[in-house]
Structures are given as structure tokens and as C-alpha cells.
A and B are shown apart, each in its own frame.
Chain A
Amino acid sequence: MKLSMLNVGERATLSPSNTPHSLFLRLTDMGMSTASPIECLFKSLSGGMKAYLIGSSVVALRNEDARLIEVITK
């Protein structure tokens, strides 16, 4: 599923099937990896952005950007 589909409070892990693109590479440098879970923490006032716990950093992404990242939920 797409990362943008993660609701607040839900967790997922990075799918190994992702093709590396510029956003993906920046996020892997920020601690996103197949080994650590990603958690959706909260969303912005309008809902256009969501904040995710990636590694131990809180990173906010627009929904259309988060759609570019494939994740797997348990």
C-alpha cells in the first residue's frame, strides 16, 4: 500500500519493492529503511500533510509525495 494511506496511529514497514527516486533517497538518508517501522503520528490542519515517525525523526510529507512510497502493513 501507499504510505499516504496510513492513518494516524498506524504503523508500516518500507516495502523492498520501491524504486529509488529522489524523495525515496532523501528519506532513506533520514533513517527510513526496511528494518525499521514507520508510524503516522498526526496530520495538518487541512489534512494535506501527515507527520511520520521515521527512525527517530518526525518527518512531514504531503499526501501526494507520500503516495510515491510503498509500505507494507502487518
Chain B
Amino acid sequence: MQSSPISGRIILAGHPNVGKSTLFNLLTGKKVHTGNWSGKTVSVSEGYGVHNKKKYIIEDLPGMASMSEPHAEEISAFEAVASGNFDCLVVVADATNLTRSLSLALRLMELTSRVVLFVNMYDEAVKKGITINSSMLSFMLGIRVVVGTAHKKSSLLPLWDAIENVALGKSTQNVFTPLYNEETENTLASFSYDRKETIRHIYTSPHSFASLKAEMSQKVTELASSIAKVCSVRSKPPSRHKADKILTHPIWGTVFMLTVLFLVLYITIVASNYPSGLLSTFFSSLGVHVSHLFLSLKLPPFIAGILTEGIYKTTTTVISVMLPPMAIFFPLFAILEDSGILPRIAFNLDDTFKKCGSCGKQALTVCMGLGCNCVGVTNSAIIPSEHERLISILTNSLTPCNGRFGAIIACISIFLAPGSPILSAFIMALVLCFSFLTTLLASKCLSSTVLKGERAPFILELPSFRRVNLLKVTISALTDRTPSILLRAIMVSAPMGALIYILNYFNLLLPIASFLNPAGLFLGMDGILLLSFILSFPANEIVFPVALMLYTQSGTMVEYSSYSALYSILSQNGWTWVTAVCFIIFTLMHWPCSTTLLTVQKETGSIKWTIASLILPVLFGIIFSCIFNIIFGLFV
């Protein structure tokens, strides 16, 4: 189908968090990540949609919160609309906030007549007692209007019909254009362009025409408000959610945030142990058959070793260590994301981040980093100020991603809280609080030295709370995010497994570990652990399995069947609780994985900042591990 001719180009525009990505997924069948906070879509997504055997290119633009004073990603979205290089512009509106959505629609309608208005989230609006007269709205705006819900397929057909009608020019639309006061109209007429070009010129001139933009913006808002009043009826008075009172309470707000953190970690720790063991046993028994298969193929032992002991063992170890906590953590995190709690956390933490030269939105990227640092780095684009965005990018790897959870949890469960999942979860929460403090410290260091900058005004939108569909969120988190991150880990761990096998085959690993031993001891660990960190550059998940392989000299990655077996191996190799803590510190703070580093390079476009993102966590890791080792090493 991809090679069939394209019948049209459709672009989706609208305010942030009105469900553009959800609609994009519905039209294209793709699975772009969605959530209840502004700015998730920081780049253009492109896909294909098919209707009546005709194929269309569909583009999902970043949200446009402001046309008068746009940020970088908003400028690119506006340029895409202003270029006119499309056959149909779908303006996605929020049925629960029609006035605001209409004000953007009216302004975009000044640029093009090929517009369809999709009033999304109608199910939520109905729950709030809002009904919308789509025929009246269509009549007043002079464009096709479809009212629906982007995650329901029933909205698809009427929307496609409207899009097709506009894209293929089946009928012309008599689009409503705002009429400003006489002074503004005279000013607009004084430009030497036509009306559309004048509007485009005004909005593509940042920091110019401020009074004109303010006047036009307020007039359009008033018009939008009048149209919304005529076309919608509200049977219930708007109510503010009581949850906001709790979440922003000086005591209960803090208690709530810490409890949520603890619960998420506790559930992840307790619930991932059992499936991890099952997967490990399954892959071990399957590994026997895989070995037999390669033997029957009469492959040379060296090649068979690379395939089974190197690639197979590494990838299955990564899967059994990484998959269960990830499959539990992501749905829990998605619930927080979809409910609207995350922006409240950013709201509460803004003051703390501000003191460190950043802003509350960094709290969101830190939360994203808990899932995957690449996602945290990419989503730093939601921070408009350049130096604050760089701070967020450079410090993100100080937040342990899901791939590092397994090793940290194992160390806590063995050396710091044996036999007590509740205490383990509590210590894990402390570890995360420590990583949060180091993020703040690093942000402060950067903002006071190399990333000094003028503080930019900070605006944070707090979306309405949404009732979360637990089943849908869980399935979506499991099917959309987990496989892609797992696949990435497998893609990098497989070749690394082969390399480790080859190095071990030629007896090169232990000499290198011996060489690194003084440095490792200085950091409260040993040469084997330091080498394991280096070899785990492609994927943090394999640090522990590589270390165990070297400790046991088994020539292959070792999966531990129980914490007691693991304790036995580690204690025989000189591990104490101080080694465990130093290992945890260095796991929190060392170089970012290769994929994160590539993402930093892509986002900053600078080798200098990419190197800085590599050095910064290493420096912190060295300093903190050394200090801890020097102080507490005396007691063991």
C-alpha cells in the first residue's frame, strides 16, 4: 500500500493536549505515545491513512499554545500551516474547552479555507454536562465540523468523509474571518501583501507587532467565546477537582507525592520477582535445546559459542532481568500520566527547580527518565528556555532508567534489606530521592557556571483530571512502549554478548579487569565491576550478568536463580554492604547508555554538549563513590 499514489496531504493542528496524537493514531493505525500533559509531541509524526481506497499522508504537528509569542516547536507547526502545503488542515479542538480551541481555529482559518474542525473529547464534555450543536458550529464557522472522541472508531467515518470532501475539493467552504476594530483593520490593510500573507507575516515576525498581536488575540478570543456560547450548552456548573486541594496542600501534597513514589516502587519490586524467576528458568531450559540445535548443525565450537553463550545468553538475561519490572512500571507510570497528576508534580516542584536554575517542567523529564533516559532527553524540548533545556538534557541520566532498576533492587534486597520487600521499597525510594537531589545539585552547578542565562517566564498548564481506563492504559503501555524499549535493549545487547564472549574466549577479560582493579577499589568496587560498567555501555541492563560471568569465570552470562545464590557469589568475591552501596551510587551516576548519548547528540546537535553529558554523571559518580568508600570503608 505504501507504494500506491498519494491522494492528499492532511495535517493535524491544535492546542497541546487536545488529543491530536490520539487522533493521529486512529487515522493511521500507528501507536504514537499519548498522555494527559502539554507538550508530549515535540516533533512532527508522519503516517499514512486510507479512506475509500485513497491513500493520504497524515502529519501530527506539535501543539500550538501561542501564535503571538511562539516557542521553537510552535513556530515549526505554524510554518507548516502557513506554507499551505497540504490539502486539508484538521484543527483538533477540545470539547471541554471550546472557546480556547475556537480561538486557534479562527486564527488558522485566516490562513486557509481547507479546514475541518474535529471537536474531540466529546465523551468527557458530556460527562461535564456540555452538549455541542455541531450543525450550528459548522454554519457559524463556514467549515465542516465533526464532533467525536479520538479513541473511538465511531468518530472515524464522519471525519474521513469531511477530510475527503475538503482535500479533494468536492465543495468550497465559505470560511468565517474575524473582523477587527477599525484601527486594527487599517493597520492590516496598510501592509503591501494580501490579507493571508499579511497575517502570516505578522505571526512569523517574533517580537514584532506586539500591540497588534495582543489586540487581534483578544478580539479572536471574544469572538470564539461568543460562538462557543451560541453553539454549546452547559447543564452543570464547572467544578474544580477536590484532588487539587490535596495535591497542592503543604503537608498532604508532599505525603501524596512520596506515597505514590513508594507504592509504584513497591509494586514494581514485589511483582517483578516471580515472573523474573519464571523467565530465567524458561530461557535456561530453552537454551539447552538451542545448544542442541547448533550442535546438530555441526557449527564450529567457536561460532556456536558466540551464538549460544554470547548472543542467546546475553539477550535472554536482559529480557528476564528487564522485562518484568518494565512491564509493571510502565503501566503504573502511564496511569500517573493519563490522570493529569504529572503536571501537578511539576507545579509543586517548580520552586525547587527554580532555585537550581531550571523550571518545574524538568520534573516531568526526570519522571520520563525513570522509564528511559532517551525519552527524558527527547522530551526536554518541552522546556522553552535554551539553557534550562540543556540543563535538563545533561542531567537526565542522573535519574536511573528502568534498565538500572534490576541491579539496584537486587543489591538492596541482598545487602541492605534482606527478606523485607517493604524495607527494600523504602530504601529504593531513598535511592531515588538521592538521585533527585544529585539532579538538583548538578542543575545548580551547571546554571551557576557554563549554563548561566536569563530566567524566562514560566507558564505551566494544568489539564483537567481524567478518569483513567486502567485496562486500556495497561494494554497500551505494555504493547506500545515495552516492546520498543525491549527491542532496543536486545539490539544492543546481542552484539555486546558476542563481543564479551570473544573477549572471554581469548582470555582478555580478566587481565583487563586486573588492570582496572586499582581504580575499581578506589571507587569502593573492584576491577570486574568497573569492566562490567564499561562493557554495559550499550545497555545498562547487562551490568550484573556480566559481573557475575566474570566472578564465576563461567565464560557465559550468569542468571541468578535466587538472591541467596547471588549473595553467596558476591560475598565470596569480597562484597560487603559498602561495596553494594558504592555499586548503587555508580549505577546511578556513570556514563549514559549509548542510545541516550546518541539522543543527546541529536537533540543538542553539539559534540561539546554530548561529551558534557558523558562526563558530568561520571564525575558525580566518582566523587560520591569515593567519599562513601573513604568514610564507611573504615568500618568494614
Contact = CB atoms under 8 A, between A and B. Distances in A.
A31 B207 CA distance: 20
Interface in B163-213: 207, 210-211, 213
A43 B460 CA distance: 13
B225 A29 contact: no
B151 interface: no
A23 to B, nearest CB: 4
Contacts of B350: 44, 48-49, 60, 62
A71 B249 CA distance: 26
B245 A26 contact: no
Interface of A: 20-36, 41-49, 51, 55-62, 65, 68
5 contacts: A25-B214, A29-B69, A30-B459, A45-B254, A56-B99
Given A42-B245, A44-B350, A55-B99, A29 B462 contact: no
B482 interface: no
Contacts of B354: 48, 62
A41 to B, nearest CB: 6
Interface residues of B, number: 45
Contact of B244 (A22, A41, A57): A41
Contacts of B472: none
Contacts of B248: 42-45, 51
Contact of A29 (B65, B253, B347, B457): B65
A62 B458 contact: yes
B211 to A, nearest CB: 5
B100 A30 contact: yes
A26 B100 contact: no
A60 B218 contact: no
Contacts of A60: 347, 350, 459-462
B557 to A, nearest CB: 45
Contacts of A41: 240, 244
A20 B210 CA distance: 6
B230 to A, nearest CB: 16
Nearest to A68: B457
Nearest to B71: A26
Contacts of B161: none
A38 to B, nearest CB: 13
Contacts of A29: 65-69, 103, 217
A32 B69 CA distance: 14
Interface of B: 65-69, 96-100, 103, 207, 210-211, 213-214, 217-218, 221-222, 225, 238, 240, 244-245, 248-250, 253-254, 347-348, 350-352, 354, 360, 457-464
B348 A45 contact: yes
Nearest to B245: A42
A25 B213 contact: yes
Contacts of A56: 96-100, 238
Given A55-B99, A56-B97, A25 B217 contact: yes
Given A25-B210, A48-B354, A49-B347, A30 B65 contact: yes
B268 to A, nearest CB: 26
Contacts of B225: 35-36, 55
Contacts of B249: 45
A29 B106 CA distance: 12
Contact of A65 (B213, B348, B352, B458): B458
A14 B85 CA distance: 38
B137 to A, nearest CB: 16
B66 A59 contact: no
B210 A31 contact: no
Contacts of A45: 248-250, 253-254, 348, 351
A20 B97 contact: no
Given A29-B65, A44-B348, A48-B354, 18 more contacts: A22-B207, A22-B457, A23-B459, A26-B68, A26-B459, A30-B100, A31-B100, A33-B221, A36-B221, A44-B351, A45-B250, A47-B351, A48-B350, A49-B347, A60-B459, A60-B462, A61-B458, A65-B458
A57 B210 contact: no
B455 to A, nearest CB: 8
Contacts of B67: 29
Query: What 7 pairs between A and B have smallest CB-CB spacing?
Result: A48-B351, A20-B214, A25-B69, A29-B66, A46-B351, A20-B210, A25-B68
A58 B462 contact: yes
A58 B100 CA distance: 12
A26 B65 contact: yes
Given A20-B213, A21-B210, A28-B217, A42 B253 contact: no
A58 to B, nearest CB: 4
Nearest to B100: A31
B459 A27 contact: yes
A59 B99 contact: no
Nearest to B384: A26
B343 to A, nearest CB: 8
B100 to A, nearest CB: 5
A31 B348 contact: no
A27 B457 CA distance: 11
Contacts of B464: 58
Nearest to A39: B240
